Chains A and B, each alone.
Chain A
Amino acid sequence: MSHAHILGFPRIGARRELKTAVEAHWKGQLDEAGLRAVGRELRGRHWALQQAAGLDCVTVGDFAFYDHLHNATALFSAGPARFGLGGHMDLADYFAMARGTPEQPALAMKKWFDTNYHYLVPEVDAGTRFRLNRDWLLPELQGAQAAGYRAKVVLPGPLTWLWLASAPAGFDKLSLLPALLPVYAELAAELRALGVAWLQLDEPILSLDLPEEWLAAFPRAHAAIAAVAPPVLLATYFGSVAVHAALLKALPVAALHLDLVRAPRQLEAFLPDWPQDKALSLGVIDGRNLWRTDLARVLALLHPARALLGERLWIAPSCSLLHVPTDLSLEEKLDPALKSWMAFAVQKLDELSVLKRALEQGEPAVWRELQAAAQAIQSRRKAPSTHVAAVRARVAALKPEDAERAAPFAQRIAAQQAVLNLPKLPTTTIGSFPQTAEIRAARAAFKAGRLGEDQYIAAMQAEIRHAVEKQERLGLDVLVHGEAERNDMVEYFGEQLDGYAFTQFGWVQSYGSRCVKPPVIYGDVSRPAPMTVEWSRYAQTLTDKPMKGMLSGPLTMLFWSFVRDDLPKQEVALQLALALRDEVVDLETAGIKLIQIDEPTIREGLPLKKAEWPAYLDWAVRAFRITAAGVRNQTQIHTHMCYSEFNDILPSIAALDADVITIETSRARMKLLEGFAEFRYPNDIGPGLYDIHSPRVPAQAEMQELLQRALKVVPAERLWVNPDCGLKTRGWPETEAALKIMVATAREARAALN
């Protein structure tokens, strides 16, 4: 026997049924019983798939109506006191905390490690108490057991839950562990009494750089739980935990899961002397990407492990399948060859089943399936689209000077100012203007074929005229065309690049009921034709003021896509950089004098371990610089980044050498700028002067105060005035009102400076 299992299954449904049901519930169109029925049906379906694939147990506890970490918060009655519930949460409270109420803002949301899934951040403080709420998890377990399934229950581990929580400054979250463990133990004992086969405790924080005191807490935390629990599987994923091998081997758990997709070499630290009384679960199928597994390669890895471990060898995907779409068989429009290279969650269950049978019955028993997998891998390797000679040659021919502007910033900015003749504290916006219902309806009609191309172009040009007129009336110094034609900052470009494909049902949960359908980079990337030039050129014809061109950068295009796994990411980034460089050069040729390359993801791409940061930042910065460096000194390159703690990567931000960087800083009241000042950031900066996340229009005094704070740390000749981010989520009334005040604020400050 080889135990096969999964760490979790995507919950949203192959056709996003959970989204429909949850949103209908929020609108009052589906009552709680109806919503729960949909949840039961989805869970039942997912368990049936696991059973049909021959897995040794089904995973219970991976389902959530909004977020699995928030489920744990509900299970432990640990909702923040500000909601006034004494921590107890029913479903209505659960959604209230997730979405906010008129009185209380929602729980904060953060990226789940380095994935594009977002979790709700628990809030803890000295007053936090924990109490088991049996309305959560246990009914789901009863459902699985009533259906006759052998259940493995999954929960976030206590240390991961605490680590991910937010706390007041100076409060030691670890001090809550003694209060939290008894509740885990109470639940664990109940699970054992109920005959649960396994308890999977996810501790992905082990892939981070953890302080000693947190590492030291692992033995006592897991001893307290394991003493009363069903056999415990401690699951790690998203990176290597080899550095903690001694600690993990000694933990009183019955099994350990390792992510061998992200960190294949860590097996060497565990396999040779793996304790005789523990199972080792090897995550060999990629839970983060949608490519078909090279089963022959995986079996070559598993056979020696099997020889050493025997039945103590478990096989699984690398992490929860939450991060991949549900079912490839629904795809009807994908090229058949490309489709044969992919595996969504359902297909990954099949792969697991084949591996299990190969290990148990020998490879001849699954000869046909192994052949099919081998053929798909071969087809992908040989496909002309995955090896485009011209693209490869161009990347190979890159020289150091391709990443260098012709002159240093001081010379460039003088040349740019001679052309642009901008006032001090120039005003601009980040790129997008309100995406009105009319714009979205026009785009949807064009996509569905109900609106012809000429009509669509005319509709978008009318929107551009509208945006330009408004900006001229407002008196902004640098205009934008408003991005009416763009649905999404990655999809819009991906649709126009070779090497990208789009699925129909490749949805993955981003947060709550919201999903993304990341484009798929399957081949070598190139740009067959200009993508944004005509829109920008048209916009520039409408005004004498300079029009800023706008495109997404190579890192953003990379991190918000499913990326091919047969080429290093940095190679794909270089291909993207060259394709986008062509666009930048074409914009310049079309008379666009300022070009913004958006990179909101540069920080998102940071590896989980700090030791791996320099290598990443090296290629990330190079990719950006190659994108930007094809233009003349007179052309001004801007970049925009969202709210992030940049201070620890400021040398790399400076190394991007963008002429102007705009950043989101208003919520932190310009605090972020202190780091830029201390670092003596040399180029121009546009710190956001107002928060675009609410329709609230700040008073001029409020904006002036922020601008003056910025002026204290940034020289006036280096400072720009702009909102925090794009304005696509706002309506026109508040956009016009806020921009009017922003322009007046800049003029007032300018007058004072002069």
Chain B
Amino acid sequence: MAFGYARRRRDEAQDASREPFREADPLARFAYVEPAEEDPPETHRHGEHCACGLRGE
């Protein structure tokens, strides 16, 4: 019980210590968010690759 309580307090403290950093993090708003649908497959042609070879989301 005591251990659980201590751990929760520690986790809360860590979360609290992270929050200001998160808010101040200028990159936070650029973290990629998966779209509601998957990224469309690549359609423009590049060099030697066909639809199988040139992969990436």
Contacts and interface: CB of A to CB of B under 8 A. Distances in A.
A510 to B, nearest CB: 3
B21 interface: no
Interface in B14-48: 26-27, 30-48
Contacts of A511: 46, 54, 56
Contact of B57 (A121, A489, A516, A730): A516
Given A118-B46, A515-B56, A41 B27 contact: yes
A369 to B, nearest CB: 22
Contact of A692 (B31, B32, B36, B50): B50
A437 interface: yes
Contacts of B39: 440
Nearest to B46: A109
A15 B33 CA distance: 9
A727 B52 CA distance: 10
Contacts of B40: 435, 437, 440, 729
Interface string A465-500: 000000000000000000000011100000000000
A17 B32 contact: yes
Contact of B30 (A17, A106, A443, A516): A17
Interface string A85-129: 000000000000001100001111110000010100100000000
B55 to A, nearest CB: 5
B4 interface: no
Contacts of A640: 52
Contact of A694 (B35, B36, B38, B45): B45
A514 B37 contact: no
Contact of B48 (A13, A106, A598, A643): A643
Nearest to B32: A16
B51 interface: yes
B22 to A, nearest CB: 12
A388 interface: no
Contacts of B54: 109, 118, 510-511
A659 interface: no
Contacts of A509: 56
Contacts of B43: 693, 729-730
A532 B43 CA distance: 26
A37 interface: yes
B49 A729 contact: no
A515 B51 CA distance: 15
A140 interface: no
B31 A693 contact: no
A435 B41 contact: yes
A46 to B, nearest CB: 12
Contact of A489 (B32, B50, B52): B52
Interface residues of B, number: 30
Given A21-B30, A118-B54, A644 B37 contact: no
A20 interface: yes
A460 to B, nearest CB: 14
A38 B46 contact: no
B30 A38 contact: yes
A633 interface: no
B29 to A, nearest CB: 8
A116 B35 CA distance: 24
A230 interface: no
A726 interface: yes
B45 A726 contact: no
Given A516-B56, A600-B52, A642-B49, A728 B41 contact: yes
Contacts of A724: 50
Contacts of A664: 50
A17 B30 CA distance: 5
Q: Which of A116, A440, A644 has the most B CB atoms < 10 Å from its CB?
A: A440
Interface string A424-443: 00000000100101001101
Contact of A17 (B27, B46, B52, B56): B27
Given A21-B30, A41-B26, A729-B43, A693 B50 contact: yes
B51 A692 contact: yes
Nearest to A552: B52
Contacts of B56: 509-512, 514-516
A604 to B, nearest CB: 8
A642 B50 CA distance: 6
B32 to A, nearest CB: 4
A305 to B, nearest CB: 38
A16 B50 CA distance: 25
A118 to B, nearest CB: 7
Given A99-B44, A109-B47, A725-B50, A45 B27 contact: yes
A560 interface: yes
11 contacts: A15-B30, A16-B31, A20-B32, A100-B44, A107-B47, A110-B48, A440-B37, A440-B39, A444-B34, A515-B57, A693-B43
Interface of A: 13, 15-21, 24, 37-38, 41-42, 45, 99-100, 105-110, 116, 118, 121, 432, 435, 437, 440-441, 443-444, 487-489, 509-512, 514-517, 560, 598, 600, 604, 640, 642-644, 664, 691-694, 724-730
Given A444-B34, A511-B54, 20 more contacts: A15-B31, A17-B31, A19-B32, A38-B30, A41-B27, A106-B46, A108-B46, A441-B36, A509-B56, A510-B56, A511-B46, A516-B56, A516-B57, A560-B55, A600-B50, A642-B49, A643-B48, A643-B49, A729-B40, A730-B43
Interface of B: 26-27, 30-57
